[in-house]
Amino acid sequence: MIDKQKLQTVMLALTEAELAQAHVKYEQFLAEARLDRSEVIERDEQAQAETAADLAEAFDDREHQAELKVAALKALDFGPKDVVEPGAVVRFGDRFLVVSVSTAEFECGGRRCIGISPAAPIYKALEGKAQGEDCVFRGRTLHIHELY
């Protein structure tokens, strides 16, 4: 059995850390993009500031994506599931896929887990399947050993 409340808590902590890191990087690049207009600005400084501004914009996007992931995790129903749908945990062998938001692989309760979003290609193959059923993904047959 898998503790889905603990799983949600771990995923929230990981995603909130991702959000915090994106915010720090955004602030760092934003600070580097600011030029002191009271002094003469050299071309190198202008180019570096423009690059930093572009990077700040990219990290701003990452920050917004992480905010959306945190909100999605908080709103998602992690209750028991009979079929693969958002909030479901699917076991294949020794790996657990958590249908929620995309994450890097992490450990929870001694189990290797990875978060996938409903937009992930593998979710399309799994959607609506029940425990004990098979699906085909990229030419491979996958057996759903357990579904929580």
Give 11-35 pLDDT, tens digit per residue: 999 999 988 888 787 677 666 656 5
Contacts of 69 (CB under 8 A, 6+ apart): 15, 18, 19, 101, 102
DSSP for 61-100, please give it. HHHHHHHHHHHHHHHS--S--SBS-TT-EEEETTEEEEES
Q: Tell me phi and psi for residue 103, to 5 degrees.
A: -140, 165
Contacts of 138 (CB under 8 A, 6+ apart): none
- What's the rounded Cα separation, in Å, for the pair 53 and 85? 39
Check residue 101 and report its DSSP letter: S
- What's the rounded Cα separation, in Å, for the pair 54 and 77? 37
Indicate the domain borders of the chain: 4-75, 89-147
* pLDDT, tens digit (0-9, with 9 covering 90-100), for 88-121: 999 988 889 999 999 999 999 999 999 999 999 9
pLDDT at 19: 83
- The answer, as to whether pTM is greater than 0.85, is no
